[in-house]
Chains A and B, each alone.
Chain A
Amino acid sequence: MATIIIKVTEKCNSNCRYCDVVRKENTGKTMSLDIIRLLFQRTNEYLLDNPDETLDFLWHGGEPLLPGAAYYKHIIDFQKNYCPDTGNRISHSIQTNLTCFTEEFVSIFNAMGIKSVGTSYDPEPHMRGPGKNIDTLSYNKKFIRALKILDKYDIGWGMIYVVTGMSLKDPLGVFYFLTNFLLTGGVNFNPVLIYDEERKYLSVTPVQFVEFLGAIFPVWWENRNRYPDVEPFKSLVNNIIHGHRSLACVDSGSCTYHHINISPEGDTSQCGRSSDWKLLDYGNIRDSKISEILRHPERDQLEKRNRILMEGECAGCRFWEICHGGCPLDAWSKHRDFNHKSEWCYAKKGFIEKYFEPVTGSIFKP
């Protein structure tokens, strides 16, 4: 299955302190319906040519609900009209801040087969919210209002929590906040990625991220029946203890030919960051078929990276199988070159060696 990340809009109604999208130049573009129509035409063509393939559309932004319910009704119509025999091989997911979510979207989500939404939430005041002053309270009220609607219609949700410098003083407080809010866990801890000096105070180092996770992990491990869905812990247990290989894109080493990011103007790239940084340009959807984009020669450098790392920087590393040198974009952000391991290498290796293995008593063996 390939994933198509559709940056519906670069507009956002929130001014999250750690977010790059709202700080981008030329921000504010929204994908035209013509491009979306074309995307479905291209999708149909691709799926007809590849009868064993499926595609996952991840609606992303900016804030993807900002274009409104009518916009998404067109999307449903496009799928019906342009993918009459292949629509059943398209799945949809969405990453939204939920603050524009209304009951009107419920039937849209149903029609798109979206049973759970990805969102994010931060307990820290003035981290997330609209306006110059980052009005967290008004944001949170809208968020909570949306949760009531999700609950009413039995739509699930999970959240990404971005670990920043502000999170470090009370990791367990953050953990309890999030798991009290969403009782099964449903939380994914990701480190903040800051690339400018102005917001350096928000950044965390790989060592700090490990210590953040390490403060939480023993509590999670002891009570994992209480909070089962906390990442990256759950995945590590599955991969290391149960031997079930299921890796996120950054660790899989196999994102090369399976990801497409489409900007509001139809430009394609590997992912959001490569698009922002004008790297890995796979052409515009107006000019290229999906099969051409997925086989674009620019991608080959990512595939070669696997071999270079395995024989070089990562040679002999016992975690290779569950890491593959991490995300190439992380490597690029530090070295301006994909052919290095991720600067977040220690975040995985250090966490497993310092906390995961001693606490669980399970040693990862490749």
Chain B
Amino acid sequence: MAEHFLVCDYNPKILKRIRDRSVVFFLDSLSKLYDLESDARDHHIHIHCVIYETKKSLSDIIYKPEWSKFPIAIVSPSLGRLSSFLKMASVIKKLNIRFYFRTDYENCYRDIRILSSLGYYCAVIINGKTVNWEELTDLMTYALLNVVNHREILPFSYVTRYYHPQNRTDYGAVYFDDASRYIHLTGEGMLALSRKQMNSVNGILLELDKLDRITQEKAYKEYLYRWQEFFLEPTPCACCKGWRICLGKYADTIKDNPGCRDFFSEFLEAVDLHLKKRENTTKEEFIWQP
């Protein structure tokens, strides 16, 4: 098995303990990128990605050419003023950057479509409580089947990349939420299988120095097989056509916000269609990939 990526807040105190690791850092300010760069160099840490979540619109961020050294994910509520954003296009185009939008903001579908068609890499963070499944279906169709040139949109293109018709495809890695690849680290040096678990009392598994043993942990093994729990009873998720790419991620919200069944059924069909269309062509990847 390949070595796990660690995911943690940028905290200089912990860096010496994660020497030689590949790490995803959460930053509360992009101005800390320079400190992170020198710290990472000192401790032989490979920066897999830097995540910056902000309440600012993308057009309100001042982008710097020096950031081009970093794989960056910016999570923002909106694009903001397109004209302001485009004024910085010459800088942004040279960055290794992907823009994440949460479905908590109703304009996210539109903003992603605009940015993607302008050639920017985007991702949508699907919150089962807030997502508008019809809008998401439109976005997915645009992402996978539209013939107009646009950049890839995650998780849709991620699924097409890893999809096999006879396997499950977990796109949790798009959000660094896939314990087979990403292990989360607290500021106190404790490991958890997800960011959500990191904040729960029973979520902590091991101390950091036992990371290499994590695959032997019972909780880790159970986590990898957690999908089987859906089959103890005929749950709506287990009986859904789209389950093999959804894996029950929205089981808790299906009652209050139904529509996931139709969305993932369409998604599955679109993936098959997209792959048929894409046969014999290979797409170049330009920026970091989760």
Q: Which of B222-279 contact A (CB under 8 A)?
A: 225, 228-234, 238-241, 243-244, 272
Q: Given known contacts A144-B228, A183-B168, is B239 in contact with A137 (CB within 8 Å)?
A: no
B165 CB-CB contact with A under 8 Å: yes
Interface CB pairs A-B, < 8 A, 9: A125-B234, A136-B233, A140-B232, A148-B221, A172-B241, A181-B231, A181-B238, A225-B166, A228-B166
The 0/1 profile, CB within 8 Å of B marked 1, for residues 155-191 of chain A is 0000000000000001011101100110110000000
A147 CB-CB contact with B under 8 Å: yes
Q: Which 4 A-B pairs have the closest CB atoms?
A: A123-B234, A173-B239, A226-B165, A180-B243
The 0/1 profile, CB within 8 Å of A marked 1, for residues 66-91 of chain B is 00000000000000000000000000
Q: Which of B192-228 contact A (CB under 8 A)?
A: 221, 225, 228
C-alpha spacing A225/B244, complex, angstroms: 14
In the complex, chain A residues whose CB is within 8 Å of the CB of B233: 123, 125, 136-137, 140
A197 CB-CB contact with B under 8 Å: no
B29 CB-CB contact with A under 8 Å: no
C-alpha spacing A223/B244, complex, angstroms: 14
B231 x A177 contact (CB < 8 A): yes
The 0/1 profile, CB within 8 Å of A marked 1, for residues 2-43 of chain B is 000000000000000000000000000000000000000000
In the complex, chain A residues whose CB is within 8 Å of the CB of B244: 180, 183
C-alpha spacing A141/B244, complex, angstroms: 21
In the complex, chain A residues whose CB is within 8 Å of the CB of B240: 176, 180
C-alpha spacing A102/B137, complex, angstroms: 44
Q: What would 20 more interface pairs be, CB under 8 Å, given A123-B233, A144-B229?
A: A123-B231, A124-B234, A125-B233, A136-B233, A137-B232, A140-B231, A144-B228, A173-B234, A176-B238, A176-B241, A177-B231, A177-B234, A180-B230, A180-B244, A183-B167, A184-B166, A223-B165, A223-B272, A225-B165, A228-B166
Q: Which of A121-137 contact B (CB under 8 A)?
A: 123-125, 136-137
A148 x B225 contact (CB < 8 A): yes
B166 x A176 contact (CB < 8 A): no
Q: Which residue of B lies closest to A226 (CB)?
A: B165
A176 x B239 contact (CB < 8 A): yes
In the complex, chain B residues whose CB is within 8 Å of the CB of A140: 231-233
Q: Which of B34-58 contact A (CB under 8 A)?
A: none
B165 x A144 contact (CB < 8 A): no
B166 x A183 contact (CB < 8 A): yes
Q: How far is the CB of B199 from chain A (nearest CB, A)?
A: 28
